Amino acid sequence: MLRPIHGPGGEVVRRPDGRAMFERDTLRQIKHDWLPELMVAAAVGCFVWSATRGIRFLYDRVHNHAP
């Protein structure tokens, strides 16, 4: 999310072409999108966990000569 940059007097700072200058508001973005971010982190965690379990299963089958 973007927010306008304010100067020392409270006025919005403008570029040489007259448009307002903006900066990213990362904290506000995190507060707004925390649930989707959490779901993505959980999905990545589940994928890594399942890949690890699958690799361990295949490794054990190969090295223990299980039928």
In this structure, the answer to whether residues 67 and 38 fall within a common structural domain is yes
| 3-class SS of residue 21 | coil
Same domain, 39 and 13: no
Same domain? For 19 and 39 the reply is: no
Shortest CA distance to 6 belongs to which of 57, 19, 14? 14
Q: Is the pLDDT of residue 66 over 60?
A: no
**Structural domain boundaries enclosing 53:** 34-67
Predicted confidence (pLDDT) at residue 47 exceeds the cutoff of 90: yes
pLDDT of 28-46, one tens digit each? Answer: 888 889 999 999 999 999 9
Residues 39 and 62 in one domain: yes
Q: How many domains does the chain have?
A: 2
